[in-house]
């Protein structure tokens, strides 16, 4: 299963090959980290903004762009980033995000990530969850960090060899994710044999 890693580490210092940005269909951006991504990944923003202005973006859509240009600066480490995902999680930037909309968007993203893993060797992606928790016009968000982590976990639980970073601001309590490791038959037999041998040695 995919490993889910909630973290307070700065999003733009990740070593992930894919960055997933939750954005609105209207082309507007408010969150400061997303604003930084706008300048760092200008080619991606131009494609996203043009699609928004032409009314081509829909709720739940996952638009992937291969990175062309990047401008790094202080506190930024984007050398391993290969793809940017614009995940359309709201109609307008001032709207609150529902867990159902996020779930649909991540489900739509899943087969695209699977293809990137299969054909391009992608093994790590980073999602910034902080914009989903923003308060707009004194309205509290409809979703919390636990909801976000649970959705990613439930949808990607059958994908192996993938690490998913979930980035939150330091004032957000990180969700606890149980990343269970399933033993294959060979490993289980080896462990069983080792226990039997140790038991025999103890009794002899």
- CATH number of the domain residue 141 falls in: 3.40.220.10
If one compares 117 and 204, the residue with the highest pLDDT of the two is 117
Is 202 a domain residue? no
Task: Name the more confident of 65 and 141.
Answer: 65
Average pLDDT, integer, range 102-125:
97
Q: Is 10 inside any structural domain?
A: yes
Q: What is the pLDDT of residue 4?
A: 96
**Does residue 183 lie in a domain region?**
no
Q: Which residues of 166-181 are buried (b: 16+ CB within 10 A; e: fewer)?
A: bbbbeebeebebeeee
pLDDT, position 28: 95
Q: What is the mean pLDDT of residues 65-75?
A: 66
Kindly tell me if the per-residue pLDDT of 88 is higher than 80. yes
Alpha-carbon gap, residue 12 to 34, rounded angstroms: 10
Q: Is residue 136 part of a domain?
A: yes
Query: Residues for the chain: how many in total?
Result: 204
Domain range for 22 is 3-177
What is the band of 169 on the pLDDT scale with cuts at 50, 70, 90?
A: very high
Residue 198, domain member (yes or no): no
**Residue 132, in any domain of the structure:** yes
In a domain, 200, yes or no: no
**Total domains in the fold of the chain:** 1
- Give the pLDDT score at 187: 43
Statement: residue 33 has pLDDT above 70: yes
pLDDT value at position 181?
Answer: 41
Q: In the predicted model, is pLDDT for residue 57 greater than 80?
A: yes
pLDDT of residue 183: 38
Asked if the structure places residue 145 within a domain, the reply is yes
Residue pLDDT, tens place only, 185-199 = 444 455 455 545 554
Q: Are 21 and 182 a contacting pair, CB within 8 Å?
A: no
Task: Using the predicted structure, report yes or no on whether residue 182 has a pLDDT greater than 60.
Answer: no
Give the predicted TM-score (pTM) of the model: 0.83
The dihedral built from the CA positions of residue 25, 30, 32 and 38, taken in this order, carries a sign that is positive
């Amino acid at each position: 299963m995919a490993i889910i890693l909630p973290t307070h580490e700065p999003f733009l210092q990740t070593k992930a090959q894919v960055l997933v940005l939750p954005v609105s269909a209207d082309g507007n951006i408010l969150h400061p980290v997303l604003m930084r991504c706008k300048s760092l990944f200008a080619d991606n923003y131009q494609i996203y903004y043009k699609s928004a202005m032409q009314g081509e973006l829909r709720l739940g859509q996952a638009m992937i762009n291969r990175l062309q240009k990047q401008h790094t600066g202080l506190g930024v480490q984007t050398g391993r980033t290969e793809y940017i995902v614009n995940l359309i999680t709201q109609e307008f930037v001032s709207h609150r995000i529902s867990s159902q909309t996020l779930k649909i968007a991540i489900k739509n993203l899943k087969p695209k990530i699977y293809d990137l893993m299969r054909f391009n060797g992608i093994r790590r992606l980073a999602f910034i969850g902080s914009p989903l928790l923003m308060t707009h016009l004194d309205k509290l968000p409809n979703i919390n960090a636990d909801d976000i982590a649970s959705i990613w976990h439930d949808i990607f639980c059958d994908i192996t060899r993938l690490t998913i970073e979930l980035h939150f601001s330091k004032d957000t309590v990180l969700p606890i994710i149980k990343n269970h490791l399933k033993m294959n038959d060979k490993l289980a037999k080896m462990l069983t044999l080792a226990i039997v041998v140790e038991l025999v040695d103890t009794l002899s």
